[in-house]
């Protein structure tokens, strides 16, 4: 087991090095003016999608439940956070940190509310209920006054644009670290054991209901945080921003990256955010190419080509998947 632990810390150090390198590269490119306006403006959306995908993976990949309401949690976070920063009058960072925490907490509360019916439903039924949940949230935001109805919120301060990339990057890294820490703990083991066999999980003393709700609450929290970051990047939010298309987009990212594969979620979120924008030039072919890439990624995932590539000796070692969960 000592060996195991050494491997573990070595992997950790490599991950930290990669994270720091990526940060340095992006900052250098930003400050050196090497990124086009379009590319710079994509940095934060990529981060938002990474947070959304990693948090959704907790429910679909690790708990093993299909949900289509993730955009609902995102919108709750976005609105709660934005209302705070619009009406509060505090220094930027203080305000933004409060908005992040409150946006996450309000979304987490709704995660708790939706987590309870989840205890009674499985599979397709759960997918339908969560889909309905997302649409209900949208409709409610559409009619109540404080959210300014269909017109949405306009004067959201730009706290998380690419000019403040550092704070956004820190939030992404924190999200990833916290979720990875969760997954590799006794709590995460309980969640994964429920996915694999909930009857056996109960039989070894794991309170299944508690951990299902816990997974929903934690996942919703980070989706809420992603919503806050999103809102303070674009400056305008409307109820229609967060419809089921957004939920499905996130689900597609998780499925393509691999269920229960955090690194896969990060890579897929990056590619699938960049791709549609890169294809903007070829406007009439855009959807076609997009679809072809999706299918290609799916085939690549399912064909065993990925496994062969990873086990080949030319494949860089630090990218190889570690045993168990990452």
> Would you count residue 208 as binding another protein (CB under 8 A)?
yes
> Which residue's CB is nearer to another protein, number 224 or number 260?
260
Interaction of residue 111 with another protein, rule CB under 8 A: no
d(CA 249, CA 294): 12
- 323 lines the binding site for another protein (CB under 8 A): yes
Give least dist CB 186 to another protein, A.
6
User: Residue 205 interacts with another protein (CB under 8 A)?
Assistant: yes
Structure tokens at 72: 């609902």
- Cα–Cα dist 265/252, whole Å: 10
- Any contact of residue 119 with another protein (CB under 8 A)? no
DSSP 3-state of 237: strand
Q: CB of 207: closest distance to another protein in angstroms?
A: 5
Q: Should residue 1 be labelled a site residue for another protein when binding is judged by CB under 8 A?
A: yes
In the shown chain, the binding pattern of residues 174 to 203 toward another protein, with x for contact by CB under 8 A and - for none, equals ----x--xx--xxxxxx-xx-xxx-xxxxx
- Stated length of the chain: 326
Q: Retrieve residue 216's tokens.
A: 């929903």
CB 195 within 8 A of CB 63: yes
Instruction: Give the DSSP letter of residue 60.
Output: I
Fill in the DSSP letter of residue 148. Answer: T
The mark string for 126-165 relative to another protein (x by CB under 8 A, - otherwise) is ----------------------------------------
CB 273 within 8 A of CB 45: yes
Contacting another protein within 246-285 (CB under 8 A): 260
SS3 153: strand
Q: Is the CB of 58 or the CB of 129 nearer to another protein?
A: 58
* Distance of alpha carbon 233 from alpha carbon 286, whole angstroms: 25
Q: How far is the CB of 206 from another protein (least distance, A)?
A: 5
Quick check: helix, strand or coil at residue 180? helix
- Is 16 a residue that touches another protein (CB under 8 A)? no
Report the distance separating Cα 162 and Cα 35, nearest Å.
11
Our CB check for another protein shows the closer of 187 and 286 to be 187
Q: How many residues bind another protein (CB under 8 A)?
A: 29
> Where on the chain is the footprint of another protein (CB under 8 A)?
1, 4, 178, 181-182, 185-190, 192-193, 195-197, 199-208, 260, 323-324
């Amino acid at each position: 087991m000592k060996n195991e632990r050494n491997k573990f810390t070595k992997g950790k150090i490599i991950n930290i090095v990669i994270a720091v390198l990526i940060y340095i590269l992006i900052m250098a490119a930003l400050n050196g003016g090497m990124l086009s306006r379009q590319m710079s403006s994509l940095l934060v959306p990529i981060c938002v999608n990474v947070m959304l995908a990693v948090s959704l993976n907790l429910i679909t990949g690790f708990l093993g439940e299909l949900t289509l309401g993730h955009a609902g949690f995102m919108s709750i976070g976005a609105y709660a956070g934005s209302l705070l920063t619009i009406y509060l009058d505090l220094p930027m960072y203080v305000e933004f940190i409060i908005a992040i925490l409150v946006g996450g907490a309000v979304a987490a509360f709704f995660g708790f509310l939706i987590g309870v019916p989840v205890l009674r439903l499985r599979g397709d039924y759960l997918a339908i209920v969560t889909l309905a949940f997302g649409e209900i949230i949208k409709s409610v935001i559409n009619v109540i006054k404080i959210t300014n109805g269909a017109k949405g919120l306009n004067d959201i301060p730009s706290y998380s644009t690419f000019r403040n990339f550092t704070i956004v990057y820190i939030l992404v890294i924190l999200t990833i670290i916290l979720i990875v820490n969760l997954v590799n703990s006794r709590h995460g083991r309980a969640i994964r054991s429920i996915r694999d066999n909930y009857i056996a999980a109960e039989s070894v003393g794991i309170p299944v209901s508690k951990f299902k709700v816990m997974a929903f609450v934690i996942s919703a929290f980070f989706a809420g945080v992603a919503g806050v970051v999103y809102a303070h990047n674009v400056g305008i939010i409307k109820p229609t921003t967060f419809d089921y298309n957004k939920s499905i987009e996130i689900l597609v990212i998780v499925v393509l990256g691999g269920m229960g594969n955090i690194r896969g979620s990060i890579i897929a979120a990056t590619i699938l955010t960049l791709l549609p924008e890169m294809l903007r030039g070829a406007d009439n072919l855009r959807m076609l190419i997009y679809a072809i890439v999706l299918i290609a990624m799916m085939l690549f995932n399912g064909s065993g080509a990925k496994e062969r590539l990873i086990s080949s000796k030319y494949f860089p070692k630090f990218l190889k998947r570690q045993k168990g969960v990452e």
